[in-house]
Amino acid sequence: MGTRTSARHTRHRRRRASIAIITSVVAVLVVAGSAAAATVVLPGLSTSFPFAPDHTSSPLAVPDGGEGADPSTPPEQDPPLPDGPDAEPTVSPAPVEPPAPPAPPAPPAPVSPLAQPCDTTSVMSVWAHQDDDLIFANPELSAAISAGECVRTLYLTAGDAGKGQAYSRGRELGILRSYNVMRGAKAFWDERSVDLLSGARLSVFSPQGDPRVSVAFLRLPDGGLKSSGFPATGGCSIPQLLAGTIASLAPLDGGPAVTAASLQQTIAEAITAWGPTRLFTHVPGASALSVGDHPDHAATGSLVRAAWQSVGYPVDAVRYFIGYPSENLPINLSGDQLARKVDVYRVYAKEDLVIACADNAACLQRRGFGAWLQRSYPKTDAELGIG
């Protein structure tokens, strides 16, 4: 009994020892497994995790460097991904050039010192000599003045015919007195010297108390019937200036010389400054209607046509009056209309010693002048046949 009991106790002790040994082994294995697990390193995650995990790596993958990499080295961080599960990769936008700043506004055009206000319709006319307007453009000028319109007249030459300034000034006086007749009022005229933006200088006359009317003189040398000028003024003329045979032309009164370009600019400046409703002048030299006319007339018409075109003046408002060749056209003025025209002309002619006439009948008997006085033929630009 005692022997069996002792053997049973011995087996029981051995069983408990085996259990302890097994338990110890298991514990060792568990610890060893835990240590092995500590060598597994998770890849880095973006700062937006878990909203956009890095799907390119397994959660248990080893860090970049491949098999055998040092597990103690921290992996490189992947670049942050855009928020949202379906977000596209962010692309830096191309630089956009800022819009150019707006151009500064153009400075206002300078105002010509020739500007004269007019609160009604107006007529501007440009002529080669004193009396061209009275002979060829009347009765239209007289009608404009009688209707209360503003009338601005510019003469390019002194009309001196090589006879000097005394003769030229007499013709100017005749013009002022004839305009008084057209105005129906006697008055003294005030003169002012005007330096234009073009560089030219004009002598501008206006009757006292009537700013509606003004007459301006440039006083360039008269070119004569052959455009060769006169020895007293150096044998030069506006036609020569336009042809380029002379570079400049000086006024008889000592004003600044003009070139072909500045002379055209002078006329253009006058058109802009006066802003006429209608524009009258000679027939240009390029038109067949000018054949046989005075060369100064044709040159003046050419200058005026180029000037109004340069400033965009309306073509329908321009009229060109046939000069010397009108004597070959039918008479179209008579009766009171003709009498009124000759009355105005006779007052002028009294101051022009070359063509002075004592009365209307004498004026109409003068060769050439009598025929021109009985006619007036304005033409449109289309009727010039220039194209």
Q: Using an 8 Å Cβ cutoff, are 328 and 377 in contact?
A: no
Whole-number average pLDDT of the chain = 83
d(CA 282, CA 127): 7
CA angle 152–125–190, rounded 5-degree value: 30
How high is the pLDDT of residue 88? Answer: 54
Tell the residue number behind the tokens 């036609």, with chain if given.
239
| pTM attached to this predicted model | 0.74
Q: How confident is the model over 370-378, as a mean pLDDT?
A: 98
Give the confidence band of 97 by pLDDT, cuts at 50, 70, 90.
confident
Q: How many CA atoms lie within 13 A of 132 on its CB side?
A: 29
How high is the pLDDT of residue 86? Answer: 53
d(CA 57, CA 59): 6
Please determine, for residue 22, whether its predicted confidence score (pLDDT) is greater than 90: no
Q: How confident is the model over 69-85, as a mean pLDDT?
A: 48
Tell the residue number behind the tokens 């596209």, with chain if given.
88
Q: Using an 8 Å Cβ cutoff, are 136 and 128 in contact?
A: no
Please determine, for residue 13, whether its predicted confidence score (pLDDT) is greater than 90: no
230-271 pLDDT tens trace: 999 999 999 999 999 999 999 999 999 999 999 999 999 999
309-342 pLDDT tens trace: 999 999 999 999 999 999 999 999 999 999 999 9
Give the confidence band of 16 by pLDDT, cuts at 50, 70, 90.
low
User: What count of other Cβ atoms lies within 10 Å of the Cβ of residue 66?
Assistant: 7
CA quadruple 307, 309, 312, 316: dihedral positive or negative? positive
